Structure 1
C-alpha cells in the first residue's frame, strides 16, 4: 500500500511512495507525531537523479525488516533537496561541520524539535570498510535515545547553537576593486593544471560561473591570461566525456581514474549545468568566434529543448545517470557508452572503425564491461568533418532506440530562469528564433503558474500543478535574471516589469536592512533551526550572488537606486572571499566585473523589429562584450523601457545610446562605433 508520499508532486518522493517505510513528507505533523510517540526523527534527503540515493533505497528502504525497525522506533521524513533547498542547506551544514564532508543521500537523526544530533550520508546494508551498516546506525541511535537522552539533548542543543551563531554581514565591507579581481585571477591561475586544461583535483565539476568571470575580466581588463584559462577550460570540457559527444549537453561531473585513461563521467544530466554551460559557451563564441564554442552552445541548447522541455513549456530538472542496459539491469551510463560491436551494428564496418578512432572507443573499453565513454581526439582536423557529422547523427538515431534514462519532470523556478537566459541569448546570437520562443514559453509558464497575485514565487511545479513550497532567494534571483535577458533580446518591456516585481520581494523579504546581507529564505518563510545564508556558489550561482547580479541589471535598466545600493552591499562578500576562494564565488566575481564596468546601459531607438538598420544595431548591442551590459530596444517615443525615454533618432536613422550610470556617450548610428564602445 502506498505511504504518505503518494500525494507528492516531487518525482523523487514519488519514487519512495511504495516503500514499506512509513515515510512522512516534511511538515509539522511529522514532528508532532515524533513528539507524541517520544521517538527521534530520521531525515533522509536526496534527489531523483542521485545514484547512491537509489542504491540506499533498494538496499534499505525497500527491505521489509529494515523498514519495520524504522517504523517502530522513528518517524521517518523524506525530503527532495531540489524542492526544499532550505532544509537541505541547514542540515547539510551540520553534516559537514560534524563529519568534514557531505553528500547525498543525506541521513540525519534529530529531536522532535528539529535539532540534529547524529549525521551521515550513505550507509550500506552490511558494515564494510570501516563504515557501519544502516541497521547498526539505527540501533545505536535508538539505544542512545532511550538510555542516554540527556547526553543526546546536550549534543543537539550545542549543534543548534553553533549553527545559529553563523551569521554573515557585509556591513562596511565595501565593493570589489581591481585588486580584488586581480587577486582572484592569480589564485585561479595557481589552481590550474596547464597540462590538462582543468582545475586540479580528481573530481572535476564544470566551473561555469568561473568561466563567466574570466570572460568578463578579459573584456573589461584586457587580461590575456583570463581568456586563455577560459578557452582551456571550455576546450577540455567539450572534448572530454563530460560532454555528450553524440546528443549534446553535459553530464554532472567526471572523475580521474587512478589507473589512467579517460575521465569517467557521472552520467546524470542536470538542467542547471546545461543552462549555465550553454550560456558560457555562447559567451565564449561571442568573445573569440570559436567554432567549437558555437557548436557546443547550440547542441546544448538543442538538447535542453529536445529532452528536457515539458508539455507545459517549462524545463524538467534532470535525467537519471542510470538506465536499463537492454537486459533488464539498471546500469549507470548504459544509455551513453559504446562498444566496437555496437558501432559496427549501427554504422557498418568501415564507418565503425572511423568512429572508434574519432571517439576513442577501444576493444578493452574505457568504462565498464568492455564499453567506452566517448571523447574527442586532440587532432580533429585530420578527420573528415562532414563524414563525422553523418556518423554522429546515425549514432544519435540509434541511441534513441535504447531504454532512456528516467526524467525528473519537476519544473524548478530557479533553473528555468537560468535556461531562459541561456536560450534567449543563444537564440539571438545564432539567429535561432525557435530557441528564443522556447525561452518565452518557459517564462510564460513561470508567470502563469508559479507567480501568485502578489508576485510571490512558487519553487516547483509538475504536470501543470504548482508545488506547495515557497520560492527561495535563488528562485527570485535566477528568474529575474532570465526575464532581464529576455527583455534585452525580445524588446518586450513586460519582462523587465516582471523582474522588478520579483526583485522588490528580494529587497523587502530577503535582505537584512541593517547589514545588507542576504538570506536564502524569506523573512516570512517557515522557521528552521537556522535561517540559511550562503554566498558561495555550488552547482549553480548562490542566491546571494545571483540576486546581486539581477539587482544591478535592473538598476541599470531603470535607475532604481535602492536596487543598485543593495547590489553593492551584497558584493561586499565578494571583496572578502574572491581573492581567497574564487572557484566558489565565481558568479559574484562576474557580477563585480559588471559593477566595475558600470554596467553599460544601451538604448537602441529605431523603426521597429522589421527594420534592417534597427535589427543590425540591436544585434551589435547584444553581441557586445561589456560585462553585464543591459540592452533596451524600441521605437522613438516608446515607453516600453526607461532607457528609451527622451532618446530621439538622429536624422530619422536608427540610433544607439551607450551610457554608464545614466551618463551617455555621443549617440551613434554606426554599428561599428557601437561595437567598439561595447568591446565587440
Structure 2
C-alpha cells in the first residue's frame, strides 16, 4: 500500500512511495500530526540519483521492522534536496555544525517545531564497523524523548540559535584586510599548494571536477600573465578528459573520481556538472586553440542534447550510478564483451587504446579510459592532420558508436526527469557559449528553446519563477540561484545572439533578485525569498561547492549589468555585493572561485564595445564578435530596429549614432573612450 508520497512529482519521493514507512512530504499536515501525537520528526533528505540514498532505502526504509519502529515513534518526512534546496541548506548546516561533515542521505531528528537535536548522513540498519545502526539510534531517541525530553529540547534550541547566528553573521573585524588584488594572489597560491602536479586537480581522493576553479585559473592566467595558472588548469582538464570520470563512449562526465587519477568515478551523471564542464572546455579551447578541448566540449554538449533533453526543450537533472541495483554496471566492459561487439581486430585495438584488460580496473571489469595513452602536442592541437590520423579517428568513432548502441541495449539507467530552473540556466549559458565559440548552431538553438520553455512553463502568472517542472506541473517558489543563474544565462544568450529581449529579461530577473533576496541589513543575498515559507533559519550561502553559490552568481550578474547598462543603480548594487564578498572571502578565497571570477570583472582592465550597425548583423561580423574574449569585454549591438529597446536597457547608447552604411565600433576602456572605427582590428 502506497504512503503519502504517491501523489508527489519528485522522482526521489516517488521512489519511496511504496516503502512501509508512512512518509509525508514536507507539509503542515506532518507537523500538525507530530504536535498532536507528541512525536519527534524523522527527516530524511536525498535525491534520486544518490547511490547511498538507495542503499539506506533498501537496508532500512524497505525493512518492515525499521518501518514499524519509525511509524510508531516518529512522524517521518521525505525531502528531495533538489526541489527544496532551502530546507536542505538549513539542515545540512546543522549536520556540518554538529558532526563536522555533511552529505546525502541527510538524516535529521527534530522536534515538532522543526528544531533539530540529532544529525547525520548514511546509517546502516545495524551497527557496522563502528558506525552506529539506525535501529539503535531510533531506539535511543525514543527513550530520551520519554525520559529526558528537556535535554533534547534544549539541544534543539541551542543548535537552532547557532544556525541562525551563522545565517545572520555580520562583518567580522579583520586585523589585516586584503585588497582585491591580494585576494586573487592568495587564492592562486592556495591552488598552487593544493595542486596535484601529476594528475591535476586539488587535494587527494576523492576528486571533484570543480570547473569554476579551472575557469578562475584560466582567467587569472590571462589577467596576471601567469602561465603556471593555465598549466594547472590544462593538466586537470587533460587528466579528466582521459580518465574514467569521462564517459568516452556516451559522452559527459560522472559526478567525481574516487581515486587520484580520475579513473574510477562515482558513476552518477549530473546536469550541472556537465554544463559547467562544457563551459570550462569551451573556454580552454578559445584560449589555447587545442582541438582536444573542442572535441571534449562537443562530446559533452552532444551527451546533454541526446540523453538529458526533454521533448519540450528543458533539460533533465541527471542519470543514476546504478543499473539493476549494481553501481557502474552500465559503464564497464570485459575484453571478451568488446571483442564480441567489435570483432577480433577492432576489439583488441580498442581494448589497447582504452585500457580494457583481462584483470580489469573496477571489480573485475574495465572502465574505458585513455590515461596511459601518449598524446603528442600536435595531436592535442589538432595539427597532425595526416590521412592516417583522420582514418584512425574515424575508426575510433565508429567503434565508440557501436559500443554505445550495444551498451544501451545491454542495460539501462534510471533518469531523474525533473527540470530544475537553475540547472537548466547553467546549461543554457554553456550551450549558448559553446554554440557561438564552436560554431555549432544546434547548441545555440537548444539554449534558446530551453529559455522559451522556462518562460512558458516555469514563469507564474505573477511573473515569479518556479524552481521545478515535472509531469506538466511547475512547483516551488524560485530561489536565489534560479533568478541569478537565469539572469546570467540570459546575458550569455544576448552575447551569442544580440537580441535585446534577452538583455531586457536579464535586467527584469536581476531586479526581482534584488527585491526578493537581498539582505539590506548585513549585505549579500538569502537563498529563499523574503515572502517564502519561514524555516527555523533563513540561510545565506557564500562558498562555492559543486555549483557556484547564489551570492557568487549574483555578484557576476550585477557586475555585468553595471558594465553593460552604465546605470548608477546597477553599479551601486554591484559595489554592495563586492563589499559583502570581500568580507567573506578574506580567510579562504579559493573556496569562492566564481566570486573571484566576478571580482576580476570589476578590478582588472575592462572594456566596453558598442557596435552600431546599419542594416542587419552580417555573418562575418558575428564571426568576428564571437572571437572576442568572454571575460574582460562587454558587448552591445545597436541597429535601427533595436535602438529604442536598447536605450531602455542601456540609456547611454542613445548617444551613439548609426552609420549611414556598414558598422561603427565604439570602444571604451577603464573609463576612457576611443574614436569610432570601421574595422574590428584593435582587440
Q: For the residues of structure 2 that align with 1:13 and 1:630, how far apart are their CA atoms?
A: 44
Report the equivalent of 1:470: 477
Q: Say whether residues 1:185 and 2:188 are aligned partners.
A: yes
Q: 1:639 aligns with which of 616, 641, 644?
A: 644
Residue 629 and residue 9 in structure 1: after superposition, are their counterparts in 2 closer, same or farther (change >3 A)?
A: farther
SS at match of 1:631: strand
Q: Say whether residues 1:59 and 2:59 are aligned partners.
A: yes
Q: How much does 1:598 deviate?
A: 6.0
Q: How much does 1:187 deviate?
A: 1.3
Q: How much does 1:633 deviate?
A: 2.4
Q: For the residues of structure 2 that align with 1:342 and 1:32, how far apart are their CA atoms?
A: 56
Report the equivalent of 2:336: 341
Asked if the contact 1:41–1:111 (Cα under 8 Å) also holds between the matched residues in 2, the reply is yes
Report the equivalent of 2:272: 272
Q: Render the CA deviation track for 1:89-136: whole Å, top value 9, x for unaligned.
A: 111111111111111101000000000001111111221111121111
Q: Render the CA deviation track for 1:385-423: whole Å, top value 9, x for unaligned.
A: 332222222222222323221111111110111000000
Matches within 5 A, 1:323-338: 323-324=323-324, 330-338=325-333
Report the equivalent of 1:318: 318
Greater length-normalized contact order (CA 8 Å, ≥ 6 residues apart):
1
Return the TM-score normalized by structure 2. 0.93
Q: 1:419 aligns with which of 424, 427, 433?
A: 427
Q: For the residues of structure 2 that align with 1:503 and 1:175, how far apart are their CA atoms?
A: 29
Q: How much does 1:218 deviate?
A: 2.2
Report the equivalent of 2:556: 549
Report the equivalent of 2:383: none
Q: Say whether residues 1:430 and 2:455 are aligned partners.
A: no
Q: How much does 1:650 deviate?
A: 5.0
Q: For the residues of structure 2 that align with 1:172 and 1:550, how far apart are their CA atoms?
A: 28
Q: How much does 1:62 deviate?
A: 0.9
Report the equivalent of 2:96: 96
Q: How much does 1:576 deviate?
A: 4.2
Consecutive unaligned residues of structure 2, counting only runs of 5 or more, are 380-388
Q: For the residues of structure 1 that align with 2:609 and 2:410, how far apart are their CA atoms?
A: 49
Q: Render the CA deviation track for 1:330-353: whole Å, top value 9, x for unaligned.
A: 211111111101110111111111
Q: How much does 1:600 deviate?
A: 3.1
SS at match of 1:205: coil
Report the equivalent of 1:327: none
Report the equivalent of 2:663: 654
Q: Say whether residues 1:620 and 2:624 are aligned partners.
A: yes
Q: How much does 1:571 deviate?
A: 2.4
Q: For the residues of structure 2 that align with 1:600 and 1:169, how far apart are their CA atoms?
A: 34
Q: Say whether residues 1:228 and 2:231 are aligned partners.
A: yes
Q: Render the CA deviation track for 1:438-457: whole Å, top value 9, x for unaligned.
A: 10111011111212243311
Q: 1:485 aligns with which of 459, 474, 492?
A: 492
SS at match of 1:513: coil
Q: How much does 1:634 deviate?
A: 4.0
RMSD: 2.1
Asked if the contact 2:264–2:367 (Cα under 8 Å) also holds between the matched residues in 1, the reply is no
Q: For the residues of structure 1 that align with 2:622 and 2:558, how far apart are their CA atoms?
A: 23
Q: Render the CA deviation track for 1:263-287: whole Å, top value 9, x for unaligned.
A: 3100111010011110111111111
656-665 vs 198-207, which moves further: 656-665
SS at match of 1:119: strand
Q: Say whether residues 1:451 and 2:459 are aligned partners.
A: yes
SS at match of 2:273: helix
> How many residues were matched structurally?
662
Q: For the residues of structure 1 that align with 2:617 and 2:308, how far apart are their CA atoms?
A: 32
Return the TM-score normalized by structure 1. 0.93
Consecutive unaligned residues of structure 1, counting only runs of 5 or more, are 325-329
Residue 470 and residue 6 in structure 1: after superposition, are their counterparts in 2 closer, same or farther (change >3 A)?
A: same
Q: Render the CA deviation track for 1:300-356: whole Å, top value 9, x for unaligned.
A: 1111111101122100011101113xxxxx211111111101110111111111111
Q: How much does 1:175 deviate?
A: 9.6
Residue 98 and residue 245 in structure 1: after superposition, are their counterparts in 2 closer, same or farther (change >3 A)?
A: same
Q: For the residues of structure 1 that align with 2:587 and 2:235, how far apart are their CA atoms?
A: 22
Q: Say whether residues 1:246 and 2:249 are aligned partners.
A: yes
